[in-house]
Amino acid sequence: MNFSNVSTICPYCGCGCGMILQTIDQEIINTLPSKSNPINEGKLCIKGWNVHDFVVSSQRATQPLIRKDGDLKEVSWNEVLEYVAKELMRIKDQYGPDSIAFMSSAKCTNEENFLFQKLARAVVGTNNVDHCARL
């Protein structure tokens, strides 16, 4: 049996509370507040205490999908990425880079947001990138 404690940050609001996720054999079993984090100093709110519930939710969709004949069908990573790359290039060639837009996410990490805007700006060639800070 492999037991671990990993220190991380809560994914909900902007407080940025530190939390420890506890696992046994790759299964998250519990959430604890971090005592040393300068924001929450050993406390969490009700959402924070229950974080481990949504990660392991049975409703997670973990298979790449492409719509075929009206329905979303399971495909391989290689097929889905080839398809997206080809389609984005086709639309860029046909209608220009500004016909493509990117909606980034306030839930994703800095590194993901950075690469996503780099994908928009450097690879597609458009500044059509925004996220839902406004909403």
Task: Rule CB under 8 A: say whether 21 interacts with other proteins.
Answer: yes
Phi, psi of 4 (to 5 degrees): -140, 155
Whole-number Å distance between alpha carbons of 49 and 10: 9
Task: Give me the 115-134 binding string for other proteins, x by CB under 8 A, dash otherwise.
Answer: xxxxxxxxxxxxxxxxxxxx
Task: Rule CB under 8 A: say whether 114 interacts with other proteins.
Answer: yes
Place of tokens 């046909």: 94
Task: Rule CB under 8 A: say whether 99 interacts with other proteins.
Answer: yes
Task: Rule CB under 8 A: say whether 113 interacts with other proteins.
Answer: yes
Task: Rule CB under 8 A: say whether 32 interacts with other proteins.
Answer: no
Nearer to other proteins, 1 or 15 (CB): 15
Q: Is 41 helix (H, G, I), strand (E, B) or coil?
A: coil
Q: Looking at this protein, which amino acid is placed at residue 27?
A: E
